[in-house]
Amino acid sequence: MKYKSITFLATLFLFAAFTAFGQNEPLQLSLELAQEMAVQNNYNLKNAQLDIEKAKYQVNEIKSMGLPQVSGSGSFSHTFKIPTQVIPGDAFGQPGQNIPVQFGVPYSMSGNIGANQLLFDGTFFLGLKAASEFVNISSLMASKSEIDVKEGVLKAYYMALISSENIGQLDQSLANITKLKNETQAMYDAGFAEKLDVDRLVLSASNLEININNLKNQAELAKRVLLNSMGVNVNQPVTLTTELPTYAPENFELNYGAEHDIENRIEYKLLEQQQSLNELDMQRYKVGYYPSLYAGFNYGWQTFGSKGKFNELGNTWYPNGMYSLSLSVPIFDGLYKKSKVDQSKVEIAKTANTMAQLNNGINLEVSQARTQYVNAIKTLELQNKSVKLAESIYTTTSIKFKEGIGSSFEMITAESDLTQAKTNYLNAMYDLSVAKINLDKALGNL
């Protein structure tokens, strides 16, 4: 498992992070650290790890059935009324008469140790192998949970990043509008501008401040969603240190994911493991036709005490012992095992159908994810062109306004269009990042 092999350096990072929690200082959180902390703190993953441990204990449980089963026992008895038996008197020279006699003594005590050992049982060895396969299934389930957790953290991290980036864009727009407002106010004071131009810029600056405040609230909420997905206190101050990916051909290849291997998907590996269990289950019933062989050993001691002589117990011990072999040969079970084998064959066929269906489903999922990914790249390229065009329009409009041949309305519109273009570009960058995450998951690369 990936999360069981976290490096010592990463552990130090986590320690530093939790130290920061205690001091209520902002957590310097990179994307990699966010994923590592989520893996460490997520309760579903913790339970998945416990499931793996439980599966290993179940293997030990089955192994114990193949080890010697040793037990000891001891007993004490007081026969206060010894049973009477009747024997023919011929043995005592009294033919024709029955003579009552009592055998035994009132007090007895014994100790015994016994052992049983399985020598051969085909179902045991297959059961042991099946239990080991179940450990693999538990490990794969934990891996699937880890993939889901990392996917959630990636998307939440990028959402928090995009919110912060949008605030930066609006802050820059507000700075531009404020500067323009101050310049226009000076021009108005000098008699070279109208009061309406100043009022429009004041209103535009006010609207930007409102939007910035709203975005700040959204950014804080996005960070809390991220911390929640990591299993960390949502009130923990945090600073994101990883930057939003920049668009470059080497970062987002257009042909990425054109070829894929279905065996990389964790769901397919789970079905393969399930099919292995189904086959072992069928073999288990088949070997049920084989004989089973067990060995036994028993050794003990007894001591006795006569009536009124309890202290005789333990003076003399009489040993006894035996060993045995037990062979069990199935002859006819009413076709029970045959019915079980037939049921196992049906389960194997059903799982094969499920694997074929999953194959088609994964191919469709990859195709859809690639389509979204390619479209996101093309959309980002168009948004990049829109930003450059909006910047050019803004520059031209700004020159015209300063020269007195442009209106404040045109200036505000150009600023608004530039801000919107940059915001659209950031949103397109986020959509591309999410599309890449979805494609990686579809390919089995998360």
Whole-angstrom Cα distance, residue 240 to residue 28?
A: 6
By C-alpha distance, which of 155, 163, 166, 156 is closest to 219? 163
Exposure of 202 in the CB half-sphere (CA atoms within 13 A) = 6
At 341 the pLDDT is: 93
The pair phi, psi for residue 183, each rounded to 5°, is -65, -40
Provide the pLDDT for residue 35.
92
DSSP 10-61: HHHHHHHHHHHHHHTPPEEE-HHHHHHHHHHH-HHHHHHHHHHHHHHHHHHH
What is the mean predicted confidence (pLDDT) over 88-98?
77
For residue 92, name the pLDDT band (cuts at 50, 70, 90): confident
pLDDT, average across residues 193-212: 88
Which residue bears the tokens 């003399």? Answer: 316
- pLDDT for the residue numbered 406: 78
Residue 276: its pLDDT value, please?
93
Pairing of strands 98-102, 292-305: unpaired
pLDDT band at 210 (very low <50, low <70, confident <90, very high): very high
- From the number of C-beta atoms within 10 Å of its C-beta (0-12, 13-18, 19+), residue 222 rates as buried
Per the prediction, the chain carries an average pLDDT of 87
The per-residue pLDDT for 112 is 96
- Mean pLDDT, range 314-343, rounded to an integer: 92
DSSP for 98-159 reads: EEEEE-S-SEEEEEEEEEEEEEE-HHHHHHHHHHHHHHHHHHHHHHHHHHHHHHHHHHHHHH
pLDDT in tens, 395-406: 999 888 877 787
In percent, how much of the chain has pLDDT > 90?
48
Query: Above 90 in pLDDT, residue 8?
Result: no
pLDDT above 70 for 9: no
Between 8 and 42, the higher pLDDT residue = 42
Quickly tell me which residue has 């037939």 as its tokens.
Answer: 342
pLDDT the model gives residue 22: 46
Q: CA-CA distance, 369 to 351, in Å (whole number)?
A: 26
DSSP 254-286: TTTTSS--GGGSHHHHHHHHHHHHHHHHHHHHH
Is the Cβ–Cβ distance between 222 and 160 less than 8 Å? yes
Residues in the chain: 446
Which range has the worst mean pLDDT, 47-56, 251-260, 289-298, 435-444? 251-260
Rounded Cα–Cα distance for residues 117 and 115 (Å): 7
> End-to-end alpha-carbon separation of the chain, Å?
13
User: Per DSSP, which regions of 241-358 are E strands?
Assistant: 292-305, 318-328
Structural domains of the chain, ranges and CATH numbers in brackets: 2-41+121-290+333-443 (1.20.1600.10)
Q: What is the pLDDT of residue 24?
A: 64
Q: What is the DSSP letter of 308?
A: T
Residue 176 binned pLDDT confidence (cut-offs 50, 70, 90): confident
Average pLDDT score over residue span 414-432 = 91
Contacts made by residues 11-17, CB under 8 angstroms, sequence distance 24+: 14/40
Inter-residue contact 352 to 255 (CB < 8 Å): no
Identify the residue with better confidence: 411 or 89.
411
Assign 77 to helix, strand or coil: strand
The pairing of strands 238-240 and 27-29 is parallel
3-state helix, strand, coil in the chain (%, to 5): 65, 15, 20
User: Are the C-beta atoms of 73 and 111 separated by less than 8 Å?
Assistant: yes
Q: Burial of 290 by CB count in 10 Å (0-12 exposed, 13-18 middle, 19+ buried)?
A: middle
What is the model's pLDDT at position 388? 94
Max Cα-Cα span within the chain: 156
Cβ burial, residue 191 (10 Å; 0-12/13-18/19+): exposed
Q: pLDDT tier at 382 (50, 70, 90 boundaries)? A: very high
**What is the predicted pLDDT for the residue at 403?**
79
Give the model's confidence band at 260: pLDDT under 50 very low, under 70 low, under 90 confident, else very high. confident
Query: Three-class SS of residue 302?
Result: strand
* CB-based contact 236:22 (threshold 8 Å): no
pLDDT at 21: 43
